[in-house]
Structure 1
Amino acid sequence: MSFGDPNNPYGQQPGQPPQQPQGQPGYGYPQQAPQGVPQQGYGYPQQPGQPDQAYGAYPQQQPGTLQANNGYINIPGLGTVQVASMGRRLGARAIDGVAIGVILSIIMGIGLAGAVGLTQDCDPASADYNQCMNDASASMIGVMFTWIAVIAVFTLLYEWLMIAFVGATVGKLAVGLRVVKESTGQNPGLGSSFIRYIIPIVGAFLCYIGAILVYLSPFFDNSGKLQGWHDRAAGTLVVKK
């Protein structure tokens, strides 16, 4: 029995290139694909007609696109933000109601004190007491209407100007909400903010039922954006900060 050369295990003739055993790939060399079949790189194959994307990357959302079932929306200038829930919005409205109620109570208290003071100047023993009381009553009515006008103007300016320039009232700031233009992501501005404010006020003329329906109208929005009727008219959206 003879033993082969340990440096020539496959018995190649001197001067011939080494040959690999059939059916076994060589180490360190890429495999050749069958003729006519293109070689594939590492990773998952790309679908025809689609651009290359990095592994794990999400496709870019178009502006105004509501992402599926997660409450997030892509807004120009802000990126992807979360739509405000109705619980937060109603909480913000309640805080605003308390804040406005306290301020209006102070204003009405001042007005009432001034009106009562008018009647104290009338002397019951005086001959013109009745005339004095009539004049005081007329003045009291005038004072009350003046304070009602002050209250209406204050309420208008509070909601209108704060939403226009800040994007939020005190209540919305407290719960971390902001009103933005859906098309730009910026503060609504005077025009859109006024439209958003006046629609519930018009509804309030129907025994305030219309205003309640406006504030609850986001529940009826089937787009997933929770836009109320006043938001749709103004082109605004309430989002988390």
Structure 2
Amino acid sequence: MSFGQPGGNPYGEQPQNPQQPGYPAYPQAPQGIPPQQGYGYPQQQPGYPQQGYGYPQQPGYGARPELAHWGLRVGSFLLDGLIIAGPMYALIGIAAAMGSDTAAGAVVTLIGVLYAIGMGFYQLYLEGSTGQTTGKKVVGTRVLREADGSTLGFGMAFVRRLAHIVDGLPCYLGYLWPLWDDKKQTFADKMCSTLVVRAQ
């Protein structure tokens, strides 16, 4: 006797096989994912911000890294300047001692200038591909995109270097801006959406 229940079950209990016709299928865990307590699986809730500034999407950046303070930025700037300009001025001094109006002096001067140009572009390549010039590597800082924590690439590193001209125009105010800015950014950083952080 069925008492009006499908399948002849007199107590109204649902059958163990949820795939029988007439019965809703029970939720199944996605293949390869162990079942969890409760009904369904947690998903990201809209309206809840993630920690950091986009960095959780990047391997190794679970949250925004510590921002580099102004002293570290000045230290890396001075080291890079010494690496680029130091040998050039040394060669120019040698050329002056040899006689800058002589052919040998002119060649030594040219070598110094070419060295500075070549080293400058090489430092931009390092900064774009790894986030670190030689000076930044020594002091332990890195420049990254604010949106996702990725490296800049050579093109954006070059644009950011040009944007530093704006930092120097109003009495070098842009270079001092990281002293009180929440994100410790120069004007160039704000224009290019970059952050200088402690290397991890």
Give the direction of change, closer, same or farther, for the CA distance of 1:230–1:105 in structure 2 (3 Å limit): same
CA distance, structure 2, for counterparts of residue 110 and residue 173 of structure 1:
30
Verify the 8 A CA contact 1:88 1:175 in the aligned structure 2: yes
State which structure, 1 or 2, has the greater radius of gyration over its C-alpha atoms. 1
Other-structure match for 2:3: none
Give the direction of change, closer, same or farther, for the CA distance of 1:144–1:99 in structure 2 (3 Å limit): closer
Verify the 8 A CA contact 2:141 2:196 in the aligned structure 1: yes
Q: CA deviation at 1:144?
A: 8.6
Which of 176, 180, 183 in structure 2 is aligned with 1:216?
176
Equivalent position amino acid for 2:174 in 1: V
Equivalent position amino acid for 2:81 in 1: G
Matches within 5 A, 1:76-225: 76-77=57-58, 78-80=61-63, 81-112=65-96, 115-116=99-100, 118=102, 146=110, 149-150=113-114, 153-154=117-118, 156-201=120-165, 212-221=172-181, 224-225=182-183
Other-structure match for 2:35: none
Other-structure match for 2:187: 229
CA distance, structure 1, for counterparts of residue 154 and residue 96 of structure 2:
33
3-state secondary structure, aligned to 1:180? strand
CA distance, structure 1, for counterparts of residue 138 and residue 93 of structure 2:
27
CA distance, structure 1, for counterparts of residue 83 and residue 193 of structure 2:
27
Equivalent position amino acid for 1:79 in 2: G
5+ unaligned residues in a row in structure 2: which ranges?
1-41, 43-47
CA distance, structure 1, for counterparts of residue 96 and residue 189 of structure 2:
37
What is the TM-score when the length of structure 2 is the normalising length?
A: 0.59
CA distance, structure 2, for counterparts of residue 111 and residue 160 of structure 1:
28
CA distance, structure 2, for counterparts of residue 190 and residue 116 of structure 1:
35
5+ unaligned residues in a row in structure 1: which ranges?
1-50, 52-58, 66-73, 119-135
What is the TM-score when the length of structure 1 is the normalising length?
A: 0.50
3-state secondary structure, aligned to 2:196? strand
Identity %: 31
What's the RMSD between the two structures over aligned residues? 3.4
Verify the 8 A CA contact 1:159 1:197 in the aligned structure 2: no
Give the direction of change, closer, same or farther, for the CA distance of 1:102–1:185 in structure 2 (3 Å limit): same
Q: CA deviation at 1:88?
A: 1.4
Judge which range, 95-104 or 79-88, deviates more: 95-104
